[in-house]
């Protein structure tokens, strides 16, 4: 064993305070070199619960807007659906930095518990909505008061030793991705059940003259947002991540709207149950990929290269969707299932590496605020996604006989433009890797 290995395995001569949660986590990492499966399971469950409501509305949103009678024409339904889809992300964009700062100041647990409670309340009220404006309001409150994901991303990184941080971020992105496909699946299958038918730790931290000991007392000083905004490895990965999330959120809404729209308008004439079946298969395929293939691929190629390959493969895949819509019967079922599985696999592969880069770009005491900034920026982009997607979808349905990219071809062409922009942002000089990046 060389000197570096001896230094890595020798316990640090550090004082751990009994009443400090951060100290207890650091002590656990110091004395237990194994993967914290129990804690990561908690992370997986909570993130899954947070992700389910985000996109569960998409399979039945078309019919929900139709039954609200706010759209004067069938072609205008996508326009109004976009606003309902965006309300959640707009609310989250307004409060994500605040929730991150609160998580750094008072700990991750209070923010997570409050977020789960508000998620249950306002998602239930959204399901009971009797008008267009009530639906928008409930989605807005759901987004603004449920600040779960940012603190969970910080927590997943903090409970893992450095060699397992990639696994922690993979758990986050996998659970999130599965939630985003299971959510619409549940919404599709269940649509006809819906409306239409550390005390004293501050003192301990202050008494410590050791910078290392101060860092272990978790989240007891507000970070400087200015210094984070000047952290280009953090900001460049956040911006690239936001562009991909804009694309993915727009796709999530457009896919469901496109699938349930009539064939005369370029859609598949699917029912909500049909959409739910496609997305359920996608979720199962995604789970298998993340469990058995992604770790091997990431270990050999690195997270950044995986993101680039995922973006490149997404472009021809989306270009094939309008031609898949020309098929019928078993051929249509098989191809749309395979395409949906592949699209969701590529989506999660792209975002997992960017999660890891963001958390490695900042120190632990800034991680909550950094993830808050990430969530704020991402939510702004995701708020744009459904609104823009709904507008583009309505516009596309009115140009079925256009000479250039008729009908839904223009929808997937625009999605590909956004994907190309995200791809370019994964290269230097735009993307700056953290100094301790392993890829």
What are the pLDDT digits (tens) for 23-67? 777 777 777 778 788 888 888 888 888 888 877 777 777 778 888
Between 321 and 351, name the one with better pLDDT.
321
Between 19 and 142, name the one with better pLDDT.
142
Q: Report the C-alpha dihedral over residues 371, 234, 309, 422, rounded to 10 degrees.
A: 90
> What pLDDT was estimated at residue 188?
63
DSSP classification of residue 11: P
> What pLDDT was estimated at residue 25?
74
Residue 180 pLDDT level (bands cut at 50, 70, 90): low
- Quote the CA–CA distance of 90 and 143 in Å, as a whole number: 7
> What pLDDT was estimated at residue 383?
74
What are the pLDDT digits (tens) for 87-110? 887 888 888 888 888 888 888 888
> What pLDDT was estimated at residue 221?
37
Contacts of 247 (CB under 8 A, 6+ apart): 385, 415, 418, 419, 422
Residue 296 pLDDT level (bands cut at 50, 70, 90): confident
Determine the average pLDDT of the residues in 350-365.
79
- Please tell me the pTM assigned to this model: 0.64
> What pLDDT was estimated at residue 118?
92
Question: For residue 353, is pLDDT > 50?
Answer: yes
- Quote the CA–CA distance of 62 and 257 in Å, as a whole number: 6
Contacts of 141 (CB under 8 A, 6+ apart): 91, 118, 122
Ramachandran assignment for 69, one of left (phi > 0), alpha (psi -120 to 50 degrees), beta (any other): left
> What pLDDT was estimated at residue 148?
85
Between 338 and 353, name the one with better pLDDT.
338
Contacts of 244 (CB under 8 A, 6+ apart): 307, 311, 347, 350, 351, 354, 419, 422
């Amino acid at each position: 064993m060389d000197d570096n290995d001896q230094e890595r395995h020798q316990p640090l001569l550090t004082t751990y305070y009994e009443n400090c949660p951060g100290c207890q986590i650091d002590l656990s990492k110091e004395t237990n070199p194994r993967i914290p499966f129990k804690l990561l399971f908690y992370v997986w469950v909570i993130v899954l619960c947070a992700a389910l409501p985000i996109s569960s509305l998409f399979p039945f949103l078309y019919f929900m807007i139709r039954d609200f009678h706010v759209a004067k024409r069938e072609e205008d339904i996508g326009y109004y659906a976009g606003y309902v889809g965006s309300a959640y992300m707009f609310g989250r964009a307004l409060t994500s930095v605040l929730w991150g700062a609160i998580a750094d100041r008072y700990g991750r647990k209070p923010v997570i518990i409050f977020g789960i409670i508000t998620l249950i309340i306002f998602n239930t009220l959204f399901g009971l909505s009797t008008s267009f404006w009530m639906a928008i309001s409930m989605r807005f409150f759901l987004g603004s008061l449920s600040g779960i994901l940012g603190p969970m991303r910080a927590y997943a990184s903090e409970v893992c030793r450095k060699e397992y941080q990639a696994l922690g971020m993979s758990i986050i992105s996998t659970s999130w991705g599965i939630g985003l496909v299971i959510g619409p699946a549940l919404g599709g299958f269940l649509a006809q059940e819906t409306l239409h038918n550390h005390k004293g730790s501050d003192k301990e931290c202050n008494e410590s003259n050791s910078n290392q000991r101060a860092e272990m007392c978790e989240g007891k000083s507000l970070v400087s947002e200015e210094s984070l905004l000047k952290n280009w490895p953090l900001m460049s990965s956040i911006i690239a991540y936001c562009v991909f999330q804009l694309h993915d959120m727009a796709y999530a809404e457009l896919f469901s709207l496109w699938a349930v729209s009539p064939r005369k308008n370029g859609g598949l004439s699917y029912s909500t149950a049909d959409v739910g079946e496609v997305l359920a298969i996608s979720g199962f395929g995604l789970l298998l990929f993340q469990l058995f293939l992604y770790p091997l691929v990431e270990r050999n190629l690195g997270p950044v290269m995986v993101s680039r390959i995922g973006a490149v493969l997404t472009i021809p895949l989306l270009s094939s969707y309008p031609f898949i819509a020309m098929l019928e019967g078993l051929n249509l079922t098989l191809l749309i299932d395979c395409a949906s599985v592949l699209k969701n696999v590529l989506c999660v592969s792209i975002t997992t590496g960017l999660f890891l880069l963001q958390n490695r770009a900042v120190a632990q005491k800034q991680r909550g605020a950094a993830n808050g900034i990430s969530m704020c920026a991402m939510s702004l982009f995701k708020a744009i996604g459904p609104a823009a997607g709904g507008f583009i979808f309505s516009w596309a349905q009115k140009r079925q006989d256009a000479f250039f990219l008729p009908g839904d071809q223009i929808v997937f062409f625009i999605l590909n433009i956004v994907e190309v922009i995200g791809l370019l942002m994964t290269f230097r000089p735009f993307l700056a890797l953290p100094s301790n990046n392993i890829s």
